[in-house]
Structure 1
């Protein structure tokens, strides 16, 4: 289904739009003065689009994705909470990515102004009665999605325990990057690290390669990872620089050919054009006492490969 079926409910000249998709669910469109854009759906708090100043889509969305609640759309950036993976009675990757969020009225959407500030929107998720039945913990999940004047995409999650007792969770920004050809892509910054291999019952291995390249299915959790890594796309001659904070792990996933054919919402050959690289907290659960708050940050930049090294030393600035 085309991504263009929207009805505007705001003046597009403001540079910030609230639009509705074909299911009537609101999406917030953020724009930079230079022509970059991002779109965030209230279904799942999911980032469903991130485009550069030439209008090129930087996130992958499957041509067979299902755009209908209660299921998360296959692509973009999904909020995986309170678990990443599939265990117990919770939905796979948690329920946050499947729920309808609200715009945080205390912090309404804001567009760029003259001083070069970021365009952003704040979203809020609280548990429903049904959520509390399967995961009996009261929380407030606040998500800020920002777009800088240079097109950098930032996500900041704050999860607060408003419960009477401690609770624990895992978390991931499940990020589908669009690539030219998975065989031409490599990841730098994870070499020499230990990883848990989900294709081998989470057995622990140590990365041996100088960089991570792809020749078959990969489903790994790299633990205790640096806060800046790069995904280099040789054919497109650009790189994604991924900065994170509060998220010690990196999940790397590509289903390859065999698994792709078993996924109803994923094209048989689409594994060639995508790569998931997720900033995450998976190996060790995060525990919050009553009243405590956890913060996890992600910043994505798309840069020329020749300038990639200049960006690797910059800290996350959300």
Structure 2
């Protein structure tokens, strides 16, 4: 199916994906970034900052930024690496990925440049498949080493999810796991709570996480299901009020309506030899939640 590229109101090229059930997604070529995902009722499922800067060379705060070849400040590069600040291209080369006949699909590619090699001296090809289906958004990133020597990298799909009220949200599936606390110099702790809830700033990298995580929005009676492969870690972040006011591209009250729940590979960097390729996979979907005594049965969410 031919891809229709249009320019948004800021002049940035983007692709709009739709599927027969009525859901849609918008993907900017700048950053290879999904900036909108709406369900069949036209409800926006991704968060976008009210002060997001939608012009190069700034990163866009919202949607699903691609963090490569570094997540956060876990390395010597700029925050979250450079892939989210580059113009990607539509990938027309044959793909080894299975056809997605029931989904609308877009394939993107980012190749290394001489400019990037000044700060990260490696040759690579980063591909991203974005597939939209009924109630489901799937991202498949692939990194190929086109260099003559090995390299390593960290990676994340930085999912800004739209929620009704962060104080009414809980994350299930990360209990008892170890995490790095970025608010305490990356010190390692073990999660003691039976679910993650929010009454202040949270910035954690959970390690060796399960393939399925649930983000339960009590007020909207909606649950995001995050399924992932090849991305063993998970990041949970909310800025809360003080950090929100300190960020120039973040509205003072925006923190109430968002939660970042990321699929990531951070603790153990991915190592690729020449000609080797790494592949990850993330599937975001939503389900209606029913409640008993105000809580969703976590077993049904995670194992149902």
Same fold (TM over 0.5): yes
Q: 2:213 aligns with which of 207, 229, 235?
A: 229
Asked if structure 2 preserves the Cα contact closer than 8 Å seen for 1:15 and 1:31, the reply is: no
Q: How far 1:312 sits from its partner (Å)?
A: 3.7
Asked if structure 2 preserves the Cα contact closer than 8 Å seen for 1:246 and 1:296, the reply is: yes
Q: What does residue 121 of structure 1 align with? A: 106
How many residues in Structure 1 have an aligned counterpart in Structure 2? Answer: 295
Q: Normalising by structure 1, what TM-score?
A: 0.88
Asked if structure 2 preserves the Cα contact closer than 8 Å seen for 1:15 and 1:30, the reply is: no
Whole-angstrom distance in 1 between the partners of 2:156 and 2:163: 21
Deviations 1:254-289 (A, max 9, x none): 000111110000011110000000000011111101
* SS at structure 2 position matched to 1:183: helix
Q: 2:92 aligns with which of 105, 112, 130?
A: 105
Asked if structure 2 preserves the Cα contact closer than 8 Å seen for 1:15 and 1:32, the reply is: no
Q: Normalising by structure 2, what TM-score?
A: 0.92
Q: What does residue 185 of structure 1 align with? A: 169
* SS at structure 1 position matched to 2:159: strand
Compared with structure 1, are the counterparts of its residues 120 and 63 closer, same or farther at alpha carbon in structure 2 (3 Å cutoff)?
same
- 1:33 matches 2:20: yes
Q: How far 1:25 sits from its partner (Å)?
A: 2.5
Whole-angstrom distance in 1 between the partners of 2:299 and 2:137: 19
Q: What does residue 293 of structure 2 align with? A: none
Deviations 1:145-171 (A, max 9, x none): 0001x1300000110001110001000
- Gapped runs of 5+ residues in structure 2? 291-295
* SS at structure 2 position matched to 1:186: strand
Query: In angstroms, what is the RMSD of aligned CA positions?
Result: 2.0
- Gapped runs of 5+ residues in structure 1? 1-13
Deviations 1:196-241 (A, max 9, x none): 0000001111101111100100000000000101000000000000
> In the TM superposition, what are the counterparts of 1:61-140 in structure 2 within 5 Å?
61-86=48-73, 89-106=76-93, 117-140=102-125
Whole-angstrom distance in 1 between the partners of 2:229 and 2:26: 23
Whole-angstrom distance in 2 between the partners of 1:166 and 1:58: 38
